[in-house]
Structure 1
């Protein structure tokens, strides 16, 4: 299903229009960097760049002073909020979203599904489910930590993480949880009472709706957005059987579950909506406009600007946002309703622009670059700005300020998706609601926590990446920080003791073994002094040497004292 099928404001192009259809992409922004120069804007708009304006009964020539534009001062102080002083570590910031309410929901629903499956389905005596024990919050956190770690360390199958094969062997997974227990938890991992809703509900998202609503409400509680917000869609890869499957050919994952998100310039997600078909919105207006109004509802009437692509942008949406003291900026489809036909029919040479504006201050700009670019703005005038190419820093070209601002702010959700694609733990074998939960927990929530952590610690170094953030969270969730030193000692001791080099020799010129290094370190970890740890008889036990004989041997040469 394409984006246009649910948009009644979309008019299919004719054969002549399809050749010059304006569906502006961000290819220009990926090759060029914008350098805004206010001193050159009016100069270039009036001299350097040819600009054509066509009068019309409802659309007019833009005024040079911008007197038709509505001015909305930005009245909000952006930044972090509601974060206590005790929030210091990476895990503390993740628990702002993954708090006790979310953990308790997963624990209760997972235990409920396992118990009801035992009762309602035929479970054999040798089945793993017949040996089910209820999980708790601590075990659920270890389970989530393992999922994050599996994204960091990719292996072909889940069972390979517990494999003893020399190619896959590791000591992380087996130290945290057994393979059977992990696979059983993954099988029973639920977010709603599946058996109850199967008999009563017709809601397509009922298996995860409560989880999505609780989590999405937490996103906006800890950060106030700036002046620009971006609305766009993202895809959660899935090719199974679901009624609300989407196909978007321009996305990396063409098939899957579509999410509508609103983000600011640094990629922080403030809210999201899961697309479930025509039920997602009411029938009072088109889908694209209603999605924008829903996502931006709590951020209106503050002088902000909403940035959208050509799926959402329309004159109707611009008028609705102007009534809420909010600007709209975005590219535009050529066959939207209400556009001036004279502007669309005008033939332009490369570098020329054609601009029209209505009495409400809605400006429509058509600019000829490599192809026609059609854009709408309620805050810009037909001015130009110098742009320096990223590939060739000596090359400077002119571009409309509207397009330059669009390219600068539109990449917010793309940046969020880019960070979420790194070390993603999602697998093909997961069910759709589990994949959606992994996207919300380990992509959206974790990226939000990463942004808050970097802002609070003023971390600007490129060395502290999202991967480093995930690694630190994994160690803490799975308890590996406490087990790191102890686990190394136990591992070495189980493989055989190693002894420190000694200069003492007996009467036969044989080196005298003094103590086990690892047992000595273990006793020191328990708080004993170096003398006490050295004189403990139990420390002298060695592999392959009986305790009594070894102790008597050490006593004969005065290494230990019986008194």
Structure 2
């Protein structure tokens, strides 16, 4: 027998052995898969299905809707947006913003070295009347949107906004926004609550919401109110 014939015969025998091993392995897989499926089927059929128990045994009160203490004008069909605004944005909330904004401005002046030309040195404590003006401007900017904030104080007839320009100067507006605050940074830490900078405001708003309306038994909260594509651990 020649060397070529010997190589061909050995190659044939090797291929036959490999094919045999493949068949054995495939058979083992089918047997294993079949036995696993049988065990899973047995587990499923052996389970006894029962009734789903409610997590809460409290009975729902059908006394829902607007609370009686709410002013009558808020229950009227002719309610205006300003009525809702004045009911929820109360003086306690405005005073909170004033107090923490002034506090943060003082802390910034004490901890930062500023040049003589810095506009921050011109910062003075804000007042209740001025804070109402600031909120008015913010709402107005939401209704009439422009590419840049500076445009609201532009002298151009294309962008000029007399309402905002007559309410507050641009420099003062920017200073107030820079120090706009709802909490004392020196008293709270981010590791305690990720919303610690907003918590005082949220607590007041939630209490106000509860004082106005009692929701129904089933509430669906499943839609994002504000589009957000970034990474955030909490979002609605």
TM-score band w.r.t. shorter chain: 0.5 to 0.7
- The 1:100–1:183 alpha-carbon spacing in structure 2 relative to 1, beyond 3 Å, is same
Provide the C-alpha distance between the structure 1 equivalents of 2:71 and 2:115, rounded to a whole number of angstroms: 50
Q: Larger relative contact order (C-alpha < 8 A, sep ≥ 6)?
A: 2
**Contact kept? 1:235, 1:253, Cα under 8 Å:** no
Match of residue 167, structure 1, among 158, 168, 190 = 158
Compute the displacement of 1:91 (Å): 2.5
TM-score (norm 1): 0.30
Matched, 1:209 2:196: no
Deviations 1:180-221 (A, max 9, x none): 111111101011122x247x6633332222222222232222
Compute the displacement of 1:156 (Å): 0.8
Provide the C-alpha distance between the structure 2 equivalents of 1:149 and 1:161, rounded to a whole number of angstroms: 10
Provide the C-alpha distance between the structure 1 equivalents of 2:165 and 2:102, rounded to a whole number of angstroms: 23
Matched, 1:99 2:90: yes
- The 1:56–1:117 alpha-carbon spacing in structure 2 relative to 1, beyond 3 Å, is same
- The 1:154–1:201 alpha-carbon spacing in structure 2 relative to 1, beyond 3 Å, is closer
- The 1:72–1:187 alpha-carbon spacing in structure 2 relative to 1, beyond 3 Å, is closer
Dislocated runs of 4+, deviation >6 Å: 68-73
- The 1:89–1:185 alpha-carbon spacing in structure 2 relative to 1, beyond 3 Å, is same
Matched, 1:253 2:220: no
Compute the displacement of 1:74 (Å): 4.9
Structure 1 unmatched runs, 5+? 1-53, 63-67, 237-251, 261-563
Provide the C-alpha distance between the structure 2 equivalents of 1:129 and 1:109, rounded to a whole number of angstroms: 17
- The 1:58–1:231 alpha-carbon spacing in structure 2 relative to 1, beyond 3 Å, is farther
Larger Rg: 2
Report which of the two has the higher share of helix: 2
Provide the C-alpha distance between the structure 2 equivalents of 1:256 and 1:166, rounded to a whole number of angstroms: 41
Mapping for residues 68-467 of structure 1, pairs under 5 Å: 74-81=60-67, 82-85=69-72, 89-194=80-185, 196-197=186-187, 202-203=191-192, 204-232=194-222, 234=224, 252-255=227-230, 257=232, 258-260=234-236
**Contact kept? 1:74, 1:227, Cα under 8 Å:** yes
Provide the C-alpha distance between the structure 1 equivalents of 2:228 and 2:197, rounded to a whole number of angstroms: 23
Compute the displacement of 1:130 (Å): 1.1
Provide the C-alpha distance between the structure 1 equivalents of 2:152 and 2:208, rounded to a whole number of angstroms: 33
Report which of the two has the higher share of strand: 1
- The 1:206–1:69 alpha-carbon spacing in structure 2 relative to 1, beyond 3 Å, is closer
Compute the displacement of 1:140 (Å): 0.8
Deviations 1:268-305 (A, max 9, x none): xxxxxxxxxxxxxxxxxxxxxxxxxxxxxxxxxxxxxx
Provide the C-alpha distance between the structure 1 equivalents of 2:190 and 2:162, rounded to a whole number of angstroms: 44
Compute the displacement of 1:69 (Å): 9.0
Could you say which residue in structure 2 is the equivalent of 1:245? Answer: none
Provide the C-alpha distance between the structure 2 equivalents of 1:145 and 1:133, rounded to a whole number of angstroms: 20
Deviations 1:100-126 (A, max 9, x none): 111111000111111221222122222
Compute the displacement of 1:73 (Å): 7.2
Provide the C-alpha distance between the structure 1 equivalents of 2:53 and 2:102, rounded to a whole number of angstroms: 58
Provide the C-alpha distance between the structure 2 equivalents of 1:149 and 1:129, rounded to a whole number of angstroms: 25
Deviations 1:154-194 (A, max 9, x none): 10111110011232122111111111111111101011122
Could you say which residue in structure 2 is the equivalent of 1:347? Answer: none
TM-score (norm 2): 0.67
